[in-house]
Structure 1
Amino acid sequence: MPHATDDRNYRLPTSVRPARYQLTLSLDPGRRVFAGEGQVGLELAAPTGELVLHAAALDLTRAELRTADGPRAVRVVPAPASETVRLVLERPAPAGAATLELAWNGHVSDGLRGLYQAAGVAVTQFEAADARRVFPCFDEPGFKAPWALTVEAPAGLALLSNGAPERTTEAAGRQRVAFRETPPLPTYLVALACGALEARPAGAARGVPVRTWAVPEKLALTAFAQEVALEVLPRLEDYFGLPYAFGKLDQVGVPEFEAGAMENAGLVTYREAALLLDPATAALPVKKRVAEVITHELAHQWFGNWVTMQWWDDLWLNESFATWMAAKIVDGWRPEWRVWLDFDAGKAAALHLDALRSTHPVRAEVKNPEDMTESFDVITYEKGGAVLRMIEGYLGEGPFRDGIRLYMRRHAKANAVAGQLWAALAEASGQPVPELADAWIGGPGYPVVEVRREGRRVALGQRRFYSEPGVAEAGERWPVPLVLRYEDAGGVKEARHLLRGAAGELTLPGEGEVRWLVANGGSTGFYRVAYDAASAAALARHLPRLAPSERIGLIADQWALVRAGAREPADFLDLLAAFGGEEDYAVLDELVGRLAGLEARLADEPVRQRFQRFVANLVGPAFARAGWDPAPGEPDALRMRRAALLRALALVAREPAAVAEGARRLDRFLGGDAAALEPNLHDAAVAMAARAGDERRFEALRARFKVEPDPALKRRYLTGLALFEDPALAARAEALAFGDEIPLQDAASYMGALLANRTAREGFWGALRQRWDAVQQRVGGAPMLLRRVVEAVGQLPERRHLEEATAFFAAHPVPAARQAIAQTLERMRQDVALWERLGPAVARWLAAR
């Protein structure tokens, strides 16, 4: 009969729990090996004849259990299916305290998980389930315990862990560092970094030392990240009403990193592009992105590290909260950045994914490590964050914060589940939070709210929204907290209404004519809105009276309804044309994104050229007034507006004069003239120069990519190589995708750019299928990247591509990306059908203008 550990979904029994880890790890990065030894203190709730710990790719060379009645020999039985080892005792151990003595050997990982090498830096990445590749341990979040680590490594290298160094000794070219014991931590938050790293001088946030680390040649790019941490850490302490718990804070830019960052307690690791920048040359979106990522990771020091989820099905408790909290804290620090609009852009991606039949709930069932990896998506992060924002808006900022503080105090240093968060929020607010929250977190999808207005009377309805035309809804209903914003003779007003059932009705307070009505005021709700024809027309007439977030939401909702077959394409195009005088850069970003999506999918060349002329006429005069060069002291808002207009003119309309000027300015910039390109124009200039570029420019970008220290610029040059539309250069760009020149962390995004390139996509799609085994082997140690490669296939536009992709993934299943494959193919089916009906509709609309 098979043992329970032969099941890949095996969970450790709770009758044996770790009480304390005291371990020593000896690193030899040059030989890519390590050795470990030490003791794990245990609490046995009942007598037992065996212990089970996680261990993957480790060789246990010694194991002995000591209890009150003496030591016991242990027989080690690996269980590869569940990545565990059974420690079979020579005689049963009694209930009570015990100490497990262990020694083991292991290897540095070839991927970006466990302990891996990144350009001279050995670093760990343990979330979700890879601490077991370095330590035999209880590798589930419900098992929290203090960690007392000692690490041996070559002398002369920086050596960092969660705690501050307490004792350091050196002998025979080796260093031995004993780190301060941590508060109770789950295994996924334990971390080490060892290598050629240097730090800025430490700053202090209310007595907490803060240092930001990078490889020596990038140390100059750490100042902004240090400033962000020092600014936001006190703000987070104030919000939670609790001091930072982990003694010190080290932030490390890692040369290769699978995700964006990792919130290890006291030692936060980052992809370099999420931490390092030069404030003098960084575009505003780069600064905002770095600030939001840092704040997200620091919010985790409370929500996730101080109070930890019990199991991975509540991963959203960590990620949703940190996503929402990052926007809230950064907005308080830099309100002029309007980061809630960036938050809304993330919410838009979640709305798109959650309209598929293959979506999943925010709180998704997780059975094993592969399920955990697939949980790191926009549903977990952005939908969950948007739902929290919606709940805060319903409860009010004060009661919501009070509930979070209560939750933090009640579950300090321990684990919790979603229901305990809802209970704390309900207790603090006096509102039925579980009813509201469970409906949004526990099930998939969201509603479209239908609005019909006659005078001051508003009739409301809801049904589940699917992006595929003709899909029948199954009768799901949500408690929808509506914020209705409208204008009458008394000015702009707000009304709130909780729509509980399939339909509802209210009368707007006030008197006189209602000029317009927005049913998702401030765009804080996670739902679509479908207005009756008269209400939609009124909004189009009064666009300047709407908040920027509401104008963005109007465009997004109308496009979603076109995709679903619920609105005519001509009506949507009429709406876009009404934005010709738009001046807000965030709204322009949304507008340009929709225009770019239309242009990219128009297969008929004469129709595409007419559409490009329409776009040029829409935005060209505004860009001509803005010009290429900013005035002295020009605010960020105007610089960002110029950048949005240029993207529309040069990248969507492909206006020849703008493309040529952008390429000339990029050449000057690459030649050393930093003033040739305002930083916010750099991204568009690289793209336009690459699309029309020759071999000289291809080699110039390739050479600059190899030596550029600034990670944001480096990434732009790399992406630029995938955008060349000369067939010979596109083929050279394709070849790079399968070599070592492209860093592993950037492989998926580079492949995605090739698949989006009209010239490169056919050749690369064929090569990707032919060399799939090699691609899987390269990115297999970074499953999140493999998922991104699968998702990139969804950019292929034609029905034959859909048929090829469907057949290919049926013949080449990817267990670590099952969900991604299902979602990608569903999106492709919808996109192909959409553009088969939308192309002729766009042609008719253009012909009628």
Structure 2
Amino acid sequence: MAHLTEDKNFRLPRTVLPRRYLSTVTLNLDEHTFSGSQTIELEVTGATDELILHGIALQLGKVTFRAGSSQLTPTSIQPAQQSETLVLRFDKPLPTGTASLDVEWTGRFTEGLRGLYLAGKVAATQFEAADARRLFPCFDEPSFKARWAITVRIPPTPGLVALSNGAIVSDTTEGTLRTVKFQEMDVLSSYLIALVVGPLVGTAEEKVNGVPVRTWALPEKAHLARFGQDAALAALPRLQDYFGLPYAYGKVDQVGIPDFEAGAMENAGLITYREVALLLDPASAPLSVQKRVAEVVTHELAHQWFGNWVTMVWWDDLWLNEAFATWMAFKIVDAWRPDWRVWLDFDSGKAAALHLDALKSTHPIRGEVRNASEAGESFDLITYEKGGAVLRMIEGFLGEGPFREGIRQYMRTHARGNAVADDLWGALGAASSQPVVELANAWIGQSGYPLLSVKQDGRKLTLSQRRFYTEPGVSSGERWPVPVVLRFADSGGVREHRFLLRDEQATVTLEGSGEVKWLFANAGSTGFYRVAYDGPMLEKLAANLSALAPAERISLLADRWALVRSGQSSAADFLELASRFGGEEDDAVLEELVGRLSYVESRLVDGEDQERFRRWVEKLLGPALTKLGWESAAGESDRVKLRRAALVRAVGVLARGGQALADARPRITKVLAGDKTALEPNLLDSAVHMVARAGDAALFDTLLEKLKTDPDPATQRRYLSALASFENPALAQRGQDLFFTETVKMQDVTIYLGSLLGNRTGRDAWWKVIQERWKDVVARTGGAPMLLRRVVEALGALRTRQQLEETKALLQVHPVNEAHQAMAQTLERLSQDVALRERTGADVVAWLKRQP
């Protein structure tokens, strides 16, 4: 009879529970090996003659079970590959009550970016979702919380820093080993344990509300740590205030890791980051990079409460961790820097989730997760961005005060423990006296979202809902409780009307009197739905764009484009609406407009039609750039700087304007020569891309050298992307050759892969290489789940029906088993892109020919 552990979906029994780990790990940094010994204090709650731990590629040595005065040695230790467990069998039942397990083991560093691995000079851990088992024999499920006391033994190399979750309580050297003992941590799930060892330099310790905070980096990047430190110092007290609870983990260390799979990881007390998500130079960093670092730092700190202090029971509630931290980060950063208007950045993430969630291959926010591998597939836009948007929508429905009180009640009730989503909904419902369980579960339990169709007859509105799909002709019968907020103008001014649409259709009578001058059916764009207006309503909105908030103008453009994709509106109608935005002065709205027009230019037109479209874009937006110019005035606001950046992207990158390229070249030459003042930082990405695209071999060599030597991670990423952009065929080939070298770090392979597929002269040749060397391409990820997903998603940059068929064949013969969702979603999206091109290309061309 097969043992239960031979099932990949095996879950640990609760007959044995860990209460405390006392772990010592010895690292051999030269040989990339480790050895460990630990005592796990246990509670045996039921009759069993076996003890099951998680462990991957660990060689167990001496193992002893102790209970009172008795000692037991397992009769067998059997690894179970499918469930990644170690089954310890004993010749008699284990006595119930308190006990302990002494374990010795050895293992090797992981080759990929998980478990314990080497990132350049830094040894680091990454355990979420289930990779603590690669370093420790442990109970590696989130509900098995325990105390952790960790000691690490390392070489006594000068300058070597060791960090873990707790503060250092002793640091001694004897012979060839240095022993660093860390403060014992309060109960934590195993995925939140961390260890970092390397030649790091930290900022001076600063305390906020008594909590010491330090930010660490490699010595050559230490000068880039100040901004991330300041962001943590700003966020921490605001989070303490919001939750009404002190920070629980003694100290905050933040570390930039030179090679890192995710953006960051919320390990309790020791937060690890991809360098580009933590380190920057405020003097030369674009505002987008500054905002991103502030948001990521705050996201990870929010997890110290929501995720670490109160933890999900199992990975099917991973969305709650990530959605809450996503929403919370924007709320806190907005309070710190309201001038940044970060909610518009939040809306950009929401827009990406709306696009993904309109596919048939989407998934609910909360879905069944049967094993740790499936948990890795959950780190996507639905989990983070849609989840965050739904929480924001619920907060808007309940009000900020009741929502916060519900959160505080949830944190108090489940302190130091585990909880499920319904525990949160119950707390929010109790605090607000509203039907939160009904509202929340309807949105998290089913895929997709509604399209609201709105028709107006005087002051009466007819609202109807049906599920929105981007594939034309697809329909299904789902319904949602939709918290609709209508904003409109009449003779009495601008008003709002709230309405909970539960049925397929409803009629609403607007309060007030007189003519309704315009109406927007998603006020502030806080609802997770799209809107289709009847013709007269749409014309009124187009004629009153300045009366709409920036988020609403963005939403109007995005919704109209979505209706084009779904076959419910024509591309010509969208371009007519877009032509009304020539005088747009808001940078965020311009970014939305340029993004949509870039899609048309890159996918829907070719040859002389493509050139005609570029000249139309230049005519629409070029005058604004000419008026604004490339140079920043003294005291110029961020809004103006970002508007200039959007216009440069439109005229220089999208329209390939010759004057824009001529303006960029000498400035980039000065930047590469070391003049940081030669170009306003927000223009750097577009300008480098433009110049590289038309660049020669000397420029390629310069950028390659700068990539290897510049310490700033944002600058490194900019130059890496540029190396993939050269359109000279020989240089495009050189860019492709870099992919399989160590010049491209493992963390960056998916970004670089996508950049190469975006190169118009190199794309077809690169696609042939990808097909021929697919196994090598996949191997460049080191098996990291997030990177595997992104490798597959990068194939969405392909354009033609032949490439679509070749992609289907490639993934059928060589599937990426860790990215089933990504494969289905990428193929569906690419199929729709190809069909849209075939369906609307002629429409776009005809519209262009009608333009003066």
- TM bracket (short chain): over 0.9
Structure 1 residue 775, shift from structure 2 partner: 2.0
Matched to 1:231, the amino acid is A
Q: Deviations over 1:437-468 (max 9, x none)?
A: 00000111000011111111111000000000
- 8 Å CA contact 1:113–1:124 kept in 2: the answer is yes
Give the counterpart of 1:575 among 569, 574, 577: 577
Which residue number in structure 2 is paired with residue 79 of structure 1?
80
C-alpha distance in 2 between matches for 1:63 and 1:362:
42
- 8 Å CA contact 2:749–2:780 kept in 1: the answer is no
C-alpha distance in 2 between matches for 1:517 and 1:100:
67
- The secondary structure found in structure 2 opposite 1:452 is strand
Which residue number in structure 2 is paired with residue 801 of structure 1?
803
Tell me the TM-score normalized by structure 2.
Answer: 0.99
Which residue number in structure 2 is paired with residue 762 of structure 1?
764
C-alpha distance in 1 between matches for 2:697 and 2:663:
18
Which residue number in structure 2 is paired with residue 485 of structure 1?
487
C-alpha distance in 1 between matches for 2:333 and 2:512:
36
- The secondary structure found in structure 2 opposite 1:30 is coil
Structure 1 residue 173, shift from structure 2 partner: 3.7
Q: Which moved more, 1:125-134 or 1:665-674?
A: 665-674
Query: Is residue 2:228 matched to residue 1:225?
Result: yes
C-alpha distance in 1 between matches for 2:221 and 2:799:
40
C-alpha distance in 2 between matches for 1:604 and 1:21:
63
Which residue number in structure 1 is paired with residue 612 of structure 2?
610
C-alpha distance in 1 between matches for 2:229 and 2:782:
34
Query: Is residue 2:47 matched to residue 1:50?
Result: no
- 8 Å CA contact 2:468–2:475 kept in 1: the answer is no
Give the counterpart of 1:538 among 540, 547, 554: 540
Which residue number in structure 1 is paired with residue 530 of structure 2?
528
Q: Deviations over 1:152-181 (max 9, x none)?
A: 111231000000011121112421111111
Matched to 1:415, the amino acid is N
Which residue number in structure 2 is paired with residue 361 of structure 1?
364
C-alpha distance in 2 between matches for 1:779 and 1:690:
26
C-alpha distance in 2 between matches for 1:14 and 1:400:
34
Matched to 1:811, the amino acid is V
- The secondary structure found in structure 2 opposite 1:166 is strand
Which residue number in structure 2 is paired with residue 308 of structure 1?
311
C-alpha distance in 1 between matches for 2:167 and 2:533:
58
- The secondary structure found in structure 2 opposite 1:509 is coil
Which residue number in structure 2 is paired with residue 624 of structure 1?
626
- The secondary structure found in structure 2 opposite 1:100 is strand
Matched to 1:95, the amino acid is T
C-alpha distance in 2 between matches for 1:464 and 1:31:
56
Give the counterpart of 1:742 among 738, 741, 744: 744
Percentage of matched positions with identical amino acids: 59
C-alpha distance in 2 between matches for 1:362 and 1:516:
34
- 8 Å CA contact 2:185–2:249 kept in 1: the answer is yes
C-alpha distance in 1 between matches for 2:771 and 2:473:
33
Give the counterpart of 1:251 among 234, 251, 254: 254
Which residue number in structure 1 is paired with residue 834 of structure 2?
832
Matched to 1:500, the amino acid is R
Query: Is residue 2:100 matched to residue 1:104?
Result: no
Structure 1 residue 672, shift from structure 2 partner: 2.0
Q: Deviations over 1:676-702 (max 9, x none)?
A: 111000000111001111111111111
Which residue number in structure 2 is paired with residue 451 of structure 1?
454
- 8 Å CA contact 2:263–2:277 kept in 1: the answer is yes
Give the counterpart of 1:267 among 260, 267, 270: 270
Structure 1 residue 826, shift from structure 2 partner: 0.3
Within-5 A mapping of 1:469-508: 469-473=472-476, 475-508=477-510
Give the counterpart of 1:333 among 336, 341, 356: 336
Matched to 2:175, the amino acid is A
- The secondary structure found in structure 2 opposite 1:806 is helix
Q: Deviations over 1:634-684 (max 9, x none)?
A: 111100000000100001111111112212211111012222111000000
User: Where does structure 1 lack aligned partners over 5 or more consecutive residues?
Assistant: none
Which residue number in structure 2 is paired with residue 131 of structure 1?
132
Q: Deviations over 1:251-304 (max 9, x none)?
A: 000000001000000000000000000111111111000000000000000000
C-alpha distance in 1 between matches for 2:428 and 2:100:
40
Matched to 2:365, the amino acid is V
- 8 Å CA contact 2:594–2:646 kept in 1: the answer is yes
Within-5 A mapping of 1:416-815: 416-473=419-476, 475-815=477-817
C-alpha distance in 1 between matches for 2:93 and 2:540:
78
**Which segments of structure 1 move beyond 4 Å, counting only runs of 4 or more?**
none
Q: Which moved more, 1:563-572 or 1:376-385?
A: 563-572
Q: Which moved more, 1:301-310 or 1:23-32?
A: 23-32
Structure 1 residue 819, shift from structure 2 partner: 0.9
- The secondary structure found in structure 1 opposite 2:635 is coil
Which residue number in structure 1 is paired with residue 172 of structure 2?
169
Matched to 2:403, the amino acid is F
C-alpha distance in 2 between matches for 1:179 and 1:587:
50
Structure 1 residue 472, shift from structure 2 partner: 2.2
C-alpha distance in 2 between matches for 1:803 and 1:43:
56
Matched to 1:125, the amino acid is Q
Matched to 1:570, the amino acid is A
Query: Is residue 2:233 matched to residue 1:234?
Result: no
How many correspondences in the alignment?
848
Structure 1 residue 603, shift from structure 2 partner: 4.1
- The secondary structure found in structure 1 opposite 2:106 is strand
- The secondary structure found in structure 2 opposite 1:142 is coil
User: Where does structure 2 lack aligned partners over 5 or more consecutive residues?
Assistant: none
- The secondary structure found in structure 2 opposite 1:10 is coil
C-alpha distance in 1 between matches for 2:145 and 2:242:
25
Within-5 A mapping of 1:372-387: 372-387=375-390
C-alpha distance in 2 between matches for 1:813 and 1:369:
19
Structure 1 residue 69, shift from structure 2 partner: 5.3
Query: Is residue 2:184 matched to residue 1:209?
Result: no
Which residue number in structure 1 is paired with residue 59 of structure 2?
59
Q: Deviations over 1:12-52 (max 9, x none)?
A: 01221111111111111111000000110111111210011
C-alpha distance in 1 between matches for 2:172 and 2:674:
47
Structure 1 residue 219, shift from structure 2 partner: 0.3
C-alpha distance in 1 between matches for 2:175 and 2:754:
49
- 8 Å CA contact 1:299–1:322 kept in 2: the answer is yes
Matched to 1:76, the amino acid is I
- The secondary structure found in structure 2 opposite 1:137 is coil
Q: How well do the aligned residues superpose, as a CA RMSD in angstroms?
A: 0.8
- 8 Å CA contact 2:358–2:469 kept in 1: the answer is yes
Which residue number in structure 2 is paired with residue 178 of structure 1?
181
Which residue number in structure 2 is paired with residue 113 of structure 1?
114
- 8 Å CA contact 1:29–1:108 kept in 2: the answer is no
C-alpha distance in 2 between matches for 1:201 and 1:509:
59
- 8 Å CA contact 1:370–1:815 kept in 2: the answer is no
Tell me the TM-score normalized by structure 1.
Answer: 0.99
C-alpha distance in 1 between matches for 2:661 and 2:441:
51
Which residue number in structure 2 is paired with residue 28 of structure 1?
28
- 8 Å CA contact 1:63–1:76 kept in 2: the answer is no
- The secondary structure found in structure 2 opposite 1:93 is coil
C-alpha distance in 2 between matches for 1:484 and 1:685:
41
Q: Which moved more, 1:595-604 or 1:211-220?
A: 595-604
- 8 Å CA contact 1:44–1:98 kept in 2: the answer is yes
C-alpha distance in 2 between matches for 1:476 and 1:271:
40
C-alpha distance in 1 between matches for 2:664 and 2:604:
25
Structure 1 residue 577, shift from structure 2 partner: 0.3
Matched to 1:538, the amino acid is K
- The secondary structure found in structure 2 opposite 1:62 is strand
Matched to 2:759, the amino acid is N
Matched to 1:374, the amino acid is E
